[in-house]
Structure 1
Amino acid sequence: MLVLLSMLLYIPSGYTQSAPAQPVYIAVTFYKVKPGKAEAYTSLVKTNAHKIVEGQFREKNILGWYFYEVIMPAGDQAPYDYVSVITSRNFGDLVDNPVTMKEMYAKTFAGSSPQQFQQYSNQLNDYRSVVKREIYLHRAGINEKTPVSRYVEIDYMKPFPGKAEEYVRMERDVYYPIHLERMKLGALTDWGLYQRLLPYSETAESDFVTANFFNNPRSIIDPKYEEAFNNMPNNVDFIRLSSQIDQTRKLVRSDVWKLVDFIDANNTK
């Protein structure tokens, strides 16, 4: 779904990644749905919001939009229930889009009145609240030709002080080739590494996330790491190097998201 700005340090023989022309940025918005409003909210997103975002995609203002339900953790105590992900090469538009939502709505629904937009806006506010919004830079992984996956496990990572670039190198040069083998084995459909740019905080719980895409939840308990190691050329070196990643970062927590709706080149021209 998303592409990378990569630092070329060392890539094992037989595993390469092509550098894209421009970096890709990801805006992630987290929502908490109000009690009893989940069905109405997802229906509104899949109708009105979908059409608005589709217009943005067709005008090449964004690369893609992905709307997820958070299935783990879940419940009243979970901090958020749904996540909207927008990918773009335009960092400025993700930070502060010069086109307002009201203008997007009017362009999408030609002939609509300001009152209709206000009704739509009021419904959104009645159904959910915005918990937070973050912007990431894509750093490694992801095959744009891979069909959109049904699930994604998001792992929140915190590099140890002074270890951020070493951590990126380990993910990109050691773990990504292993994930490619796991994809061949059917344990993953895709994998990506993302660095949080905004909001910046030295005390943030995480600075990076990895996204593990799959279509069968069994992949969570059967990740096929051992089989992937055995298929790797010079796998002794990979096993030794992979053990070093724990010295570069801490795995803070994980989410599991389920795809609800999306727009990208896989389903929209």
Structure 2
Amino acid sequence: MRKLTLLLLALCFNTALVFGQEKKYMVFEFMKVETGNTINYMDHKDFLERIYKKAVEKGDISGWDFWSLKSGTDSGEFQYVTVTYYEDPVKMMNGIPLNKLVEYGKEVYDTLNEQQLTKMLKDAETSRDLAVRSYMEEIARTDTEFEMKPGVLASFDLMKAVEGRFEEYEAAEKEVFQPFHQKRIDNDLMGGWRLLRTALPFGSEAKSTHMTMNFYRDYLQFFNSMEYEDLEASEEDKQAVERGLQSRDQKWVYLATLEKVVR
């Protein structure tokens, strides 16, 4: 009996350790690119992809995505967003310094010298206007083996929890909406779902406090998902959904297509 108890404790510890290692920290960078700079920015995007692959190999980051935005705010102020994945908040806040990017550039572009690489990296920065940078931590996700590859669709839903109802909102996402999204996934109507919380302190004037990421294989799955209705939902379930909706203000939604993915 004692051996069985010790074995169960060891399994619980390993499970907790694995879960802790899987926790993601992400930096979202929403960008505006002027019409005249679009071609230059696309070239820089391809240039940066190989450098970020090296950064993943070196352990500085765990991934990098490049998304093109199809819809968003009424003003259409952003055209692209990058998502950089980190294993811990310290790495996330430190980012990758320019000298390291140059070092990795030397390894993947052996025909370029340090001065050329430095200029190209700086040109990549000036070819777009970094309008918004958000530091987020993942606090919940659905169970799925969904493959992130170019062509995948996602909606980034930015939320602001109602003041004084922060914990209520997070509980609603995990206890009400997450199971609902899991049903969609189990019925092949969705690829995956994640709940993120801002990783930095914020006040009552913050534009958003949370984000949900909803993934779809293609537009067919996306539109089929929009038509899905949980016919088994009880009246109590519907009331729980309504309370959850009242605990947050949905600021805006971005529909995006994955163009580049590095893991």
| TM-score, L = length of structure 2 | 0.82
- Shift in alpha-carbon separation, 1:118–1:21, aligned structure 2, 3 A: closer
Mapped partners of 1:241, 1:91: distance in 2 = 33
Q: Percent identity?
A: 19
Mapped partners of 1:181, 1:121: distance in 2 = 44
Mapped partners of 2:102, 2:214: distance in 1 = 33
Mapped partners of 1:187, 1:62: distance in 2 = 31
Mapped partners of 2:43, 2:73: distance in 1 = 20
2:243 is aligned to 244
> Which moves more between the two structures, 18-27 or 252-261?
18-27
Mapped partners of 1:87, 1:133: distance in 2 = 13
Letter in 2 for 1:67: F
Which residue of 167, 174, 191 corresponds with 1:172?
Answer: 174
2:255 is aligned to 256
2:11 is aligned to none
2:134 is aligned to 134
Per-residue deviation, 1:145:
3.1
Q: How does 1:6-85 map to 2 (within 5 A)?
A: 20-22=19-21, 23-46=23-46, 48-73=47-72, 77-85=75-83
Match of 2:226, SS state, is: coil
Mapped partners of 1:107, 1:72: distance in 2 = 34
How far does the alpha carbon of each residue in 1:177-212 deviate from its partner, in whole angstroms, 9 at most, with x for none?
A: 110111123321101111112363420121111111
5+ long unaligned stretches in structure 2: 1-16
> Which moves more between the two structures, 55-64 or 36-45?
36-45
1:223 is aligned to 226
| TM-score, L = length of structure 1 | 0.80
1:100 is aligned to 97
Mapped partners of 1:128, 1:55: distance in 2 = 23
Instruction: Determine whether 1:208 maps to 2:207.
Output: no
More helix as a share of residues:
2
Mapped partners of 1:175, 1:83: distance in 2 = 25
Higher CA-based Rg = 2
